Amino acid sequence: MSAPRTEIFADAQALAVHAADWIAGLIAAHEGTFRIALSGGSTPRLLFGELSLRAIDWSKVVFYWIDERFVPPDHPDSNLRMARETLLTRIDVAPEHIRPMPTDGDPETAARAYEALLKADYGAAVFDPARPLFDFVLLGLGGDGHICSLFPGSPVLEERVRWVAAVPTGRPEVRLTLTYPCVESSRVTAFLVAGGDKAEAVAKVRAGDASLPGGRLKPQGELVWLLDSQAAKLL
Protein backbone atom coordinates (compact mmCIF):
# COMPACT_ATOMS: atom_id res chain seq x y z
CA MET A 1 0.00 0.00 0.00
CA SER A 2 1.37 3.41 -0.95
CA ALA A 3 2.14 5.98 1.74
CA PRO A 4 -1.04 7.71 2.89
CA ARG A 5 -1.78 11.19 1.58
CA THR A 6 -1.78 13.78 4.37
CA GLU A 7 -3.33 17.23 4.25
CA ILE A 8 -3.02 19.71 7.11
CA PHE A 9 -5.32 22.69 7.63
CA ALA A 10 -5.13 25.74 9.86
CA ASP A 11 -8.10 24.82 12.00
CA ALA A 12 -11.09 22.50 12.31
CA GLN A 13 -13.31 24.69 10.15
CA ALA A 14 -10.85 24.81 7.24
CA LEU A 15 -10.44 21.05 7.63
CA ALA A 16 -14.21 20.52 7.42
CA VAL A 17 -14.57 22.78 4.36
CA HIS A 18 -11.85 20.93 2.46
CA ALA A 19 -13.15 17.51 3.47
CA ALA A 20 -16.66 18.41 2.33
CA ASP A 21 -15.40 19.66 -1.04
CA TRP A 22 -13.32 16.50 -1.48
CA ILE A 23 -16.16 14.11 -0.57
CA ALA A 24 -18.58 16.02 -2.80
CA GLY A 25 -16.14 15.55 -5.67
CA LEU A 26 -15.77 11.83 -4.97
CA ILE A 27 -19.55 11.38 -5.02
CA ALA A 28 -19.93 13.39 -8.23
CA ALA A 29 -17.24 11.35 -9.98
CA HIS A 30 -18.62 8.01 -8.79
CA GLU A 31 -20.73 5.81 -11.06
CA GLY A 32 -23.67 4.21 -9.25
CA THR A 33 -24.32 3.86 -5.53
CA PHE A 34 -21.82 5.55 -3.19
CA ARG A 35 -21.67 3.69 0.13
CA ILE A 36 -20.27 5.90 2.89
CA ALA A 37 -19.67 4.74 6.47
CA LEU A 38 -19.74 7.51 9.06
CA SER A 39 -18.01 7.97 12.36
CA GLY A 40 -19.74 9.55 15.31
CA GLY A 41 -18.35 11.59 18.14
CA SER A 42 -17.82 15.34 17.81
CA THR A 43 -15.21 15.84 15.08
CA PRO A 44 -17.53 15.06 12.14
CA ARG A 45 -20.11 17.68 13.18
CA LEU A 46 -18.45 20.52 11.27
CA LEU A 47 -17.91 18.29 8.24
CA PHE A 48 -21.53 17.14 8.20
CA GLY A 49 -22.70 20.73 8.38
CA GLU A 50 -20.50 21.63 5.42
CA LEU A 51 -21.66 18.59 3.45
CA SER A 52 -25.28 19.66 3.96
CA LEU A 53 -24.45 22.87 2.08
CA ARG A 54 -22.89 21.17 -0.95
CA ALA A 55 -24.75 20.54 -4.22
CA ILE A 56 -24.58 16.74 -4.04
CA ASP A 57 -26.83 14.19 -5.78
CA TRP A 58 -27.76 12.43 -2.55
CA SER A 59 -29.81 9.85 -4.45
CA LYS A 60 -26.45 8.13 -5.18
CA VAL A 61 -25.46 7.96 -1.52
CA VAL A 62 -26.23 5.28 1.08
CA PHE A 63 -25.24 6.05 4.65
CA TYR A 64 -23.87 3.47 7.09
CA TRP A 65 -22.19 3.81 10.47
CA ILE A 66 -18.86 2.44 11.71
CA ASP A 67 -20.07 2.34 15.27
CA GLU A 68 -22.94 3.38 17.50
CA ARG A 69 -23.65 3.86 21.12
CA PHE A 70 -26.33 1.37 22.16
CA VAL A 71 -28.80 4.09 23.13
CA PRO A 72 -32.15 5.18 21.63
CA PRO A 73 -31.85 7.19 18.39
CA ASP A 74 -33.04 10.35 20.17
CA HIS A 75 -30.42 10.01 22.93
CA PRO A 76 -27.90 12.89 23.13
CA ASP A 77 -25.01 10.40 22.67
CA SER A 78 -26.49 8.72 19.57
CA ASN A 79 -24.27 8.95 16.49
CA LEU A 80 -27.38 8.68 14.34
CA ARG A 81 -28.93 11.62 16.15
CA MET A 82 -25.82 13.71 15.58
CA ALA A 83 -25.81 12.86 11.86
CA ARG A 84 -29.53 13.63 11.60
CA GLU A 85 -29.16 16.99 13.33
CA THR A 86 -26.13 18.13 11.30
CA LEU A 87 -26.76 16.52 7.90
CA LEU A 88 -29.54 14.03 7.24
CA THR A 89 -32.50 16.28 8.06
CA ARG A 90 -30.98 19.04 5.93
CA ILE A 91 -30.59 17.11 2.65
CA ASP A 92 -32.86 15.31 0.22
CA VAL A 93 -32.09 11.69 1.10
CA ALA A 94 -34.48 8.76 0.92
CA PRO A 95 -35.13 7.06 4.29
CA GLU A 96 -34.05 3.71 2.85
CA HIS A 97 -30.66 5.24 2.06
CA ILE A 98 -30.07 5.79 5.77
CA ARG A 99 -28.91 2.47 7.22
CA PRO A 100 -28.19 3.02 10.91
CA MET A 101 -27.03 0.41 13.37
CA PRO A 102 -30.06 -0.87 15.32
CA THR A 103 -30.07 0.02 19.01
CA ASP A 104 -33.23 -1.74 20.17
CA GLY A 105 -33.46 -5.18 21.72
CA ASP A 106 -30.14 -6.63 22.86
CA PRO A 107 -26.70 -5.59 21.55
CA GLU A 108 -25.66 -9.00 20.26
CA THR A 109 -28.84 -9.46 18.24
CA ALA A 110 -28.52 -5.90 16.94
CA ALA A 111 -24.93 -6.57 15.85
CA ARG A 112 -25.98 -9.68 13.99
CA ALA A 113 -28.84 -7.80 12.35
CA TYR A 114 -26.51 -5.08 11.09
CA GLU A 115 -24.05 -7.67 9.84
CA ALA A 116 -26.88 -9.33 7.92
CA LEU A 117 -27.86 -5.95 6.43
CA LEU A 118 -24.28 -5.27 5.32
CA LYS A 119 -23.97 -8.72 3.76
CA ALA A 120 -27.28 -8.30 1.93
CA ASP A 121 -26.21 -4.91 0.58
CA TYR A 122 -22.80 -6.28 -0.37
CA GLY A 123 -24.37 -9.33 -2.02
CA ALA A 124 -22.02 -11.81 -0.39
CA ALA A 125 -21.04 -13.11 3.04
CA VAL A 126 -17.31 -13.06 2.34
CA PHE A 127 -15.27 -10.01 1.35
CA ASP A 128 -13.78 -9.93 -2.12
CA PRO A 129 -10.67 -7.71 -1.88
CA ALA A 130 -11.30 -6.62 -5.46
CA ARG A 131 -14.77 -5.34 -4.50
CA PRO A 132 -14.76 -3.33 -1.27
CA LEU A 133 -18.01 -2.98 0.65
CA PHE A 134 -17.70 0.77 1.15
CA ASP A 135 -16.72 3.54 -1.21
CA PHE A 136 -15.73 5.81 1.65
CA VAL A 137 -15.06 5.27 5.35
CA LEU A 138 -14.82 8.32 7.59
CA LEU A 139 -12.74 7.64 10.70
CA GLY A 140 -12.17 9.71 13.79
CA LEU A 141 -9.39 8.94 16.22
CA GLY A 142 -9.64 8.75 19.98
CA GLY A 143 -6.94 10.20 22.18
CA ASP A 144 -6.16 6.60 23.16
CA GLY A 145 -5.78 5.68 19.48
CA HIS A 146 -9.14 3.95 19.14
CA ILE A 147 -11.08 3.92 15.92
CA CYS A 148 -14.75 2.98 15.63
CA SER A 149 -15.43 1.41 19.04
CA LEU A 150 -12.29 -0.68 18.82
CA PHE A 151 -10.76 0.25 22.15
CA PRO A 152 -7.26 -0.66 23.38
CA GLY A 153 -7.12 -4.14 24.94
CA SER A 154 -10.58 -5.11 23.75
CA PRO A 155 -11.09 -8.72 22.58
CA VAL A 156 -12.92 -7.36 19.50
CA LEU A 157 -9.52 -6.21 18.17
CA GLU A 158 -8.82 -9.88 17.39
CA GLU A 159 -12.13 -10.47 15.57
CA ARG A 160 -11.47 -11.41 11.96
CA VAL A 161 -14.71 -13.23 11.04
CA ARG A 162 -17.62 -11.16 12.26
CA TRP A 163 -18.32 -7.88 10.45
CA VAL A 164 -20.13 -6.24 13.36
CA ALA A 165 -19.69 -6.81 17.09
CA ALA A 166 -21.20 -5.67 20.37
CA VAL A 167 -18.64 -4.06 22.69
CA PRO A 168 -19.82 -4.37 26.30
CA THR A 169 -16.92 -2.56 27.99
CA GLY A 170 -14.58 0.35 27.43
CA ARG A 171 -17.17 3.09 27.63
CA PRO A 172 -20.12 3.85 29.93
CA GLU A 173 -22.58 2.71 27.28
CA VAL A 174 -22.47 -0.55 25.31
CA ARG A 175 -21.30 0.02 21.74
CA LEU A 176 -21.77 -1.64 18.37
CA THR A 177 -18.75 -1.49 16.08
CA LEU A 178 -17.53 -2.63 12.72
CA THR A 179 -14.61 -5.01 13.04
CA TYR A 180 -11.27 -4.54 11.26
CA PRO A 181 -12.11 -6.77 8.25
CA CYS A 182 -15.30 -4.79 7.66
CA VAL A 183 -14.04 -1.26 8.21
CA GLU A 184 -10.97 -2.05 6.07
CA SER A 185 -13.19 -3.03 3.11
CA SER A 186 -13.30 0.40 1.55
CA ARG A 187 -12.05 2.07 -1.64
CA VAL A 188 -11.15 5.20 0.32
CA THR A 189 -10.50 5.55 4.06
CA ALA A 190 -10.07 9.00 5.57
CA PHE A 191 -9.00 9.95 9.06
CA LEU A 192 -10.51 13.29 10.03
CA VAL A 193 -8.72 14.48 13.19
CA ALA A 194 -8.61 17.86 14.91
CA GLY A 195 -7.21 19.13 18.19
CA GLY A 196 -3.92 18.99 20.03
CA ASP A 197 -5.23 16.30 22.35
CA LYS A 198 -5.05 13.89 19.41
CA ALA A 199 -1.51 14.80 18.29
CA GLU A 200 0.24 11.96 20.10
CA ALA A 201 -2.25 9.38 18.89
CA VAL A 202 -1.93 10.71 15.32
CA ALA A 203 1.85 10.42 15.42
CA LYS A 204 1.78 6.90 16.89
CA VAL A 205 -0.96 5.58 14.59
CA ARG A 206 0.74 6.99 11.52
CA ALA A 207 3.94 5.27 12.66
CA GLY A 208 2.01 1.99 12.72
CA ASP A 209 2.14 1.59 16.50
CA ALA A 210 0.14 -1.63 16.88
CA SER A 211 -0.44 -0.95 20.58
CA LEU A 212 -3.07 1.52 19.40
CA PRO A 213 -6.16 0.19 17.60
CA GLY A 214 -5.75 2.78 14.86
CA GLY A 215 -2.20 1.56 14.28
CA ARG A 216 -3.49 -1.89 13.35
CA LEU A 217 -5.80 -0.69 10.61
CA LYS A 218 -4.92 -1.97 7.13
CA PRO A 219 -7.42 -0.38 4.77
CA GLN A 220 -7.75 -2.04 1.38
CA GLY A 221 -7.93 1.13 -0.63
CA GLU A 222 -6.50 4.64 -0.46
CA LEU A 223 -5.76 6.00 3.01
CA VAL A 224 -5.92 9.76 3.53
CA TRP A 225 -5.17 11.80 6.65
CA LEU A 226 -7.02 15.11 6.98
CA LEU A 227 -5.71 17.00 10.02
CA ASP A 228 -5.83 20.41 11.56
CA SER A 229 -2.52 21.97 12.56
CA GLN A 230 -2.94 21.05 16.21
CA ALA A 231 -3.55 17.35 15.54
CA ALA A 232 -0.54 17.36 13.20
CA LYS A 233 1.84 19.18 15.51
CA LEU A 234 3.98 16.12 16.32
CA LEU A 235 4.45 15.05 12.71
Mapped onto helix, strand or coil, the DSSP state of residue 215 is helix
- Phi and psi, residue 66, nearest 5°: -90, -20
Q: Which of 148, 165, 166, 183 binds ligand 6PG (CB under 6 A)?
A: 148
Q: Which residue is nearest to ligand 6PG (CB)?
A: 140
CB contact at 8 A, 184 and 218: yes
Distance, CA of 67 to CA of 191 (rounded, Å) = 15
Rank residues 4 and 60 by Cβ distance to ligand 6PG and give the closer one.
4
Buried b (16+ CB within 10 A) or exposed e, 30-67: beeebbbbbbbeebbbbbbbbbbeeebebebbbbbbbb
Sign (positive or negative) of CA dihedral 18, 180, 144, 42: positive
Rank residues 143 and 208 by Cβ distance to ligand 6PG and give the closer one.
143
Is 67 one of the binding residues for ligand 6PG (CB under 6 A)? yes
Q: Which of residues 45-64 bind ligand 6PG (CB under 6 A)?
A: none
Rank residues 133 and 147 by Cβ distance to ligand 6PG and give the closer one.
147
Torsion, CA 40, CA 46, CA 47, CA 52, rounded to 10: 110
Is 186 one of the binding residues for ligand 6PG (CB under 6 A)? no
Residue 165 CB, shortest distance to ligand 6PG, in Å, is 14
Is 142 one of the binding residues for ligand 6PG (CB under 6 A)? yes
Is 39 one of the binding residues for ligand 6PG (CB under 6 A)? yes
Q: Which of residues 73-132 bind ligand 6PG (CB under 6 A)?
A: 79
- Give the number of residues in contact with ligand 6PG, rule: CB under 6 A: 14
Is 156 one of the binding residues for ligand 6PG (CB under 6 A)? no
Is 140 one of the binding residues for ligand 6PG (CB under 6 A)? yes
Distance, CA of 188 to CA of 15 (rounded, Å) = 17
Q: Which of 16, 19, 36, 147 binds ligand 6PG (CB under 6 A)?
A: 147
- Phi and psi, residue 36, nearest 5°: -115, 135
Rank residues 141 and 232 by Cβ distance to ligand 6PG and give the closer one.
141
Q: Which of 16, 43, 88, 132 binds ligand 6PG (CB under 6 A)?
A: 43
Rank residues 42 and 169 by Cβ distance to ligand 6PG and give the closer one.
42
- Tell me what percent of the chain is helix, strand and coil, each rounded to the nearest 5: 35, 20, 45
Catalog residues that contact ligand 6PG under the rule CB under 6 A.
39-43, 66-67, 79, 140-142, 146-148
